Structure 1
Amino acid sequence: MISKKHISGYKPASPYTTSVAYFSMEFAIDQALKIYSGGLGFLAGSHLRSAYELKQNLVGIGILWKFGYYDQARDVNALMKPVFVQKDYSFLQDTGITFQINIHDSPVHIKVYLLRPETFNTAPLFLLSTDIPENDFLSRTITHRLYDPNEATRIAQSILLGTGGATLLDLLSMTPEVYHMNEGHSVSLNFYLYAKHKSLEEVKKRVVFTTHTPEMAGNEEHDFGLLKDMSFFYHMQDHEVKHLLGMDGDRFNYTLAALKFSRKANGVSKIHGEVARKMWGNNPGICEITSITNAQNKTYWKDEILDNAITANNDKGITARKKELKKQLFKVVADQCGKLFSENVLTIVWARRFAGYKRADLIMQDWNRFISLMSNTVYPIQIIWAGKPYPEDSTANELFNQILTKAAPLPNCAVLTGYELSLSALLKKGSDVWLNNPQMYREASGTSGMTAAMNGSINFSIPDGWVPEFAKDQKNCFIIQPENANSQLMDTLEKVILPMYYKDQQQWLKILKKAATDVVPAFESARMAKEYYEIMYKGDLP
């Protein structure tokens, strides 16, 4: 039998002996382990890395996605298309554990794998799979695709994560003092705990919750009747759930339920904490909503040579290494797009999860001005886009391909496919400017800019998410004012950024070094992992 001692590989340090189970639908651990889609996974991966470094008493609970999220390929016209390819991982340990839970009033068999701490230097991570011979085809598909578009399958995935994860911990005699829900996907675990403890207050002693979604439409909800039929509420009837949580109506909102089941919740930046309190604060029975700003793990993301040059205040070393890193990125550009970029030209990257509110095409809004910018021979510029839209989000997919089509004739514009951990790292290390221009108050955190700053790429950003906690305009970043964002973006680019890069490298490097200094430790995930223990995990424990 797997034991806590067997999987930890380290003795928990004295400030972190409280035992925690961290439930997340996705974890971005390593390029080789494709069980993530975007920022939520990147955040969870860095949390597990810092938990390992700090020797925190924490285990992750996730799902082993057979086809991952999806792979980005190109069709015959070089436009992006999603493809689904089976993934196999010899480095995961087969624990030998299988067990059953009920989904849709039918037994579903679950096989358990373990990502051992020493494999990628993370806290231990249990991964659940239903793709085993004991299950019928429909049950096997539960763990095929991350965020499956079929509603019933999506609900089954949440039951697997929440109820299945909580059941596994009991089978292992590893019942944690704290259950941490990273987003609302695992909210079904609370019904399992309620059946066990027979008291809402007893559940609340044990559960904390992180919300990442600053708009109501993005918070998952389903019909009470469908959830009841799917066995989402464990042994409870839907009218009992409504009475227990003080909920009415026909729709069960995951986030609202999580706020009612938890003793404390947090948004993922100071702004997002305020937004979350405004969104949910008028609902009776919800817990306190504080904020713990997201962060990223520098050990994983940094380029060692560049980091040493920045630490040593070695301007020549910084400049030389940035050019080397740009060359590495530009090999990918040449391979995918047949375009030869120059390491001597200012390079802007827009890369993150593709969603409408993130406005990937904002810089193209005034097309004539954009073409003029791209044709400037005095201050030349190169732009790269990358990102993954949700496969069934037709609007986002169409936008991706529109940008790709518009960029195709321009020798200094490139759109890359395959935006995962490896390409993300190349883009951050090989860019001069990291562009971020979402609609204001729509970005909960936006952590990609943190790792960009760690790698000598200067943030050029709307002051949303984490940015206001970091930003000093023209000292460690460049700010785009939200009003008239396109003209603000272009004005700053044409009048400030480009002239500084080409005419005042000393000032450019001063901003670059200031950004790298300011981003750590404030936005390094050791700070975040510590705050979760101090603010969220300690308290009214059973």
Structure 2
Amino acid sequence: MKSKSSFTIPFKHPLKPAKPFKKSVAYFSMEFAVDQALKIYSGGLGFLAGSHMKSANSLNQNLIGIGMLWKHGYYDQERNQDNSMKPEFREKIYHYLIDTETKVSIEISGKQVWVHAYYLPPDVFDTAPMFLLTTDTDGNDHEARSISYNLYSSDPTTKVAQCMVLGIGGTKMLDALEYEPEVYHFNEAHALSGAFYLYQKFKTAPQLRKRFVFTTHTPEEAGNEKHDITFLKNLGFFAGLKLETVRKITGQKDSVFNHSLAALRLARKANGVSKLHGEVSRQMWGGYEKICEIDHITNAQNQAYWTDKTLDAARLAQDTKTIMARKEELKKELFKTVANQCGKLFDPKVLTIVWARRFAGYKRADMLTWDRERFHRLMTNSKYPVQIIWAGKPYPKDMGAIETFNGLVYLSNLYDNMAVLTGYELALSKLMKDGSDAWLNNPIVTREASGTSGMTAAMNASLNLSTYDGWICEFARDGENAFIVPVAAGEDINKQDMENLYDLIETKVLPTYYDQPEKWQEMVLTSMNDVNAFFGSDRMATEYYEKLY
């Protein structure tokens, strides 16, 4: 962490932009994961946006981030007395943020709400300059202050109000800072309300469209945010626009307002976040009239932040012995956390499989445990021993996902070689990627728009063990740089995927690790080279300028 820099209005970008990146861009995202010390993210969307901010900095791009300063973060994942999951909400205070002393007011449910901006200078966490918005400020009552307390509120009214603070508040704040970017980039549809403020600023839909681009992350139409249009109007979501005008410029005639569809009709161009997701998105939205072009820019992660330097130097030297020796050291570091949290001593010589990401139904965290007999055989195999670690945060109100997490915790009591960790944030994520041999990823195919955790695992000498979805389709060659579960067909894909995953672990993953160590090492080196060749965020941030901005 470095010293604070001063802040003045009108705001001027502090970095001198490189020639290909001179166009000014404001990148709006509900969450950013830029450092363990700044807890304003929940999962993959934040990890992606954080890596983007770091690459924008290192490439000297003329880009700024607009986000939210969540007072309680997402939540702190603690444990109850029986070790089950306990969400805790605690105030976070960040002394390294600069108070811009700038406020704007927006109208929510007919009431004036003040939005206050704090500034994260580039030299603190090596990011693009970032403005973080809060309603926890003087002049607001408790209800208004609480809008920016918790990321992704479970209350629909509060959640839409949060989107309005990011969208209307963020675009209005840029005006107050006397900073007008050439491009407004909304990362997912959370900031969509800002488009209605900008429409009034730029007077016509073509003038708005010229400046507005959109990234969609949701690979199912049903998963995109929808609300009753009158509910949104009464909240002030349309920034004072008449419904007649809203319907005209978004083409939505009925009472249900689809946020992503509106964004696709108001934007100049949009993108999905992997090649497959781009195809799925074009198919999903292709039946709707007057949507913009949907391209794809595959997600990526920032190597400078995520990659262990010793591992990367060994990769460049094609030194597999050093890679394996360093990997054993990194496993020992992860196993200290396992011992601390779970009271279990893991062996760095044993194949270690890790599943770590957000707990959600389609990601099927507990798939390996669906067949208890087969799971028991796997966990008690003396010829090919295995250790498995799980971690991840369910949405704090998603009781199904929490039950899945807790079920794994209770099952882990039966096995010395099974652990479930809490506190899956940037620091633990780094530790788990460093310390895993195989990175397990088993979502239902086509449900994962991209996924990024396997990228950073591969950068740190872990082999992807995955279903064929998201970014994996552009990366994996089964048996060469990853282990891929065959795509299931027919009715019971869950059962097929589980059986295929077990077959893969029992007949390929374990025998390769123990009986063919040279083949394993060769696969690891190939994987590391392949992931670094394309899945670094410098490539992604460059493509956003070339293909979207």
Q: What interval of TM-score do these two structures reach, taking the shorter chain for normalisation?
A: over 0.9
**Offset, 1:521:** 2.9
1:285-310 residue CA offsets vs partner (Å, 9 max, x unmatched): 11011100000000000001111112
Q: Secondary structure at the match of 2:57?
A: helix
Partner residue of 2:497 out of 468, 485, 510: 485
* Kept in 2: contact 1:20–1:59 (CA 8 A): yes
Q: How does 1:214-233 map to 2 (within 5 A)?
A: 214-233=219-238
Q: C-alpha separation between the residues in 2 aligned to 1:497 and 1:394?
A: 33
C-alpha RMSD of the superposition: 1.2
Which shifted more, 95-104 or 287-296? 95-104
**Offset, 1:243:** 2.2
1:102-142 residue CA offsets vs partner (Å, 9 max, x unmatched): 11221111111011100000001100011113100000001
Whether 1:16 aligns to 2:16 is no
- Correspondence for 1:503: 515
Q: C-alpha separation between the residues in 1 aligned to 2:153 and 2:243?
A: 24
* Kept in 2: contact 1:74–1:81 (CA 8 A): yes
**Offset, 1:318:** 1.1
Whether 1:266 aligns to 2:278 is no
* Kept in 1: contact 2:440–2:466 (CA 8 A): yes
Amino acid at match of 1:38: G
Amino acid at match of 2:351: L
**Offset, 1:5:** 8.9
Amino acid at match of 2:510: L
- Correspondence for 1:540: none
Partner residue of 2:111 out of 106, 127, 137: 106
**Offset, 1:237:** 2.1
Q: C-alpha separation between the residues in 1 aligned to 2:515 and 2:323?
A: 17
Q: C-alpha separation between the residues in 2 aligned to 1:277 and 1:367?
A: 40
Number of aligned residue pairs: give it. Answer: 537
Q: C-alpha separation between the residues in 2 aligned to 1:147 and 1:270?
A: 28
Partner residue of 2:397 out of 381, 392, 397: 392
Q: C-alpha separation between the residues in 2 aligned to 1:246 and 1:95?
A: 38
Q: C-alpha separation between the residues in 2 aligned to 1:473 and 1:5?
A: 54
Whether 1:434 aligns to 2:439 is yes
Which shifted more, 192-201 or 345-354? 192-201
**Offset, 1:190:** 0.8
* Kept in 1: contact 2:320–2:522 (CA 8 A): no
* Kept in 2: contact 1:245–1:285 (CA 8 A): no
Q: C-alpha separation between the residues in 1 aligned to 2:160 and 2:268?
A: 24
Amino acid at match of 1:204: R
Which shifted more, 450-459 or 215-224? 215-224
- Correspondence for 1:336: 341
1:204-259 residue CA offsets vs partner (Å, 9 max, x unmatched): 00000000001123211111111101111012122321122211221111101110
Q: Secondary structure at the match of 1:146?
A: coil
Partner residue of 1:254 out of 240, 249, 259: 259
Q: How does 1:299-314 map to 2 (within 5 A)?
A: 299-314=304-319
Q: Secondary structure at the match of 2:533?
A: coil
Amino acid at match of 2:513: Y
* Kept in 2: contact 1:8–1:117 (CA 8 A): no
- Correspondence for 1:194: 199
- Correspondence for 1:363: 368
Whether 1:25 aligns to 2:37 is no
Q: C-alpha separation between the residues in 2 aligned to 1:108 and 1:322?
A: 51
Amino acid at match of 2:202: H
Q: C-alpha separation between the residues in 1 aligned to 2:21 and 2:134?
A: 30
- Correspondence for 1:78: 83
Q: C-alpha separation between the residues in 1 aligned to 2:485 and 2:76?
A: 33
* Kept in 2: contact 1:49–1:121 (CA 8 A): yes
Whether 1:348 aligns to 2:353 is yes
Q: How does 1:452-467 map to 2 (within 5 A)?
A: 452-467=457-472
- Correspondence for 2:536: 524
Whether 1:212 aligns to 2:217 is yes
**Offset, 1:179:** 0.3
1:450-503 residue CA offsets vs partner (Å, 9 max, x unmatched): 000000000011110000101111111010113211111111111111111111
Cα gap change, 1:249/1:447 in structure 2, threshold over 3 Å: closer, same or farther? same
**Offset, 1:316:** 2.1
Q: How does 1:110-129 map to 2 (within 5 A)?
A: 110-129=115-134
Q: C-alpha separation between the residues in 2 aligned to 1:347 and 1:482?
A: 24
Q: C-alpha separation between the residues in 2 aligned to 1:520 and 1:318?
A: 15
Which shifted more, 401-410 or 152-161? 401-410
Q: Which runs of 4+ in 1 moved over 4 A?
A: 1-7
* Kept in 2: contact 1:2–1:172 (CA 8 A): no
Q: C-alpha separation between the residues in 1 aligned to 2:416 and 2:19?
A: 56
* Kept in 2: contact 1:195–1:235 (CA 8 A): no
Partner residue of 1:44 out of 31, 46, 49: 49
| TM-score of the two chains, using structure 2 as the length reference | 0.96
* Kept in 2: contact 1:7–1:117 (CA 8 A): no
Which shifted more, 99-108 or 60-69? 99-108
- Correspondence for 2:153: 148
**Offset, 1:315:** 2.2
Amino acid at match of 2:287: N
Partner residue of 2:478 out of 473, 490, 497: 473
- Correspondence for 2:174: 169
Partner residue of 1:494 out of 495, 506, 526: 506
* Kept in 1: contact 2:449–2:470 (CA 8 A): yes
* Kept in 2: contact 1:269–1:466 (CA 8 A): yes
- Correspondence for 1:235: 240
- Correspondence for 1:138: 143
Q: C-alpha separation between the residues in 2 aligned to 1:311 and 1:29?
A: 26
Q: Secondary structure at the match of 1:521?
A: helix
Cα gap change, 1:289/1:74 in structure 2, threshold over 3 Å: closer, same or farther? same
* Kept in 1: contact 2:15–2:62 (CA 8 A): no
Amino acid at match of 1:417: T
Q: C-alpha separation between the residues in 2 aligned to 1:263 and 1:447?
A: 26
Cα gap change, 1:521/1:3 in structure 2, threshold over 3 Å: closer, same or farther? farther
* Kept in 1: contact 2:10–2:179 (CA 8 A): no
**Offset, 1:80:** 0.6
**Offset, 1:405:** 1.1
Cα gap change, 1:413/1:188 in structure 2, threshold over 3 Å: closer, same or farther? same
**Offset, 1:447:** 0.6
**Percent of paired sites with the same residue:** 55
Which shifted more, 422-431 or 195-204? 195-204
Q: C-alpha separation between the residues in 1 aligned to 2:376 and 2:386?
A: 11
**Offset, 1:166:** 0.5
Q: How does 1:399-410 map to 2 (within 5 A)?
A: 399-410=404-415
1:353-379 residue CA offsets vs partner (Å, 9 max, x unmatched): 110000011111211011001000111
Q: C-alpha separation between the residues in 1 aligned to 2:252 and 2:499?
A: 45
Q: C-alpha separation between the residues in 2 aligned to 1:482 and 1:417?
A: 31
1:492-525 residue CA offsets vs partner (Å, 9 max, x unmatched): 1111111111111111010000000001131100
* Kept in 1: contact 2:57–2:122 (CA 8 A): yes
* Kept in 1: contact 2:10–2:178 (CA 8 A): no
Q: C-alpha separation between the residues in 2 aligned to 1:99 and 1:438?
A: 42
**Offset, 1:332:** 0.6
* Kept in 2: contact 1:8–1:123 (CA 8 A): no
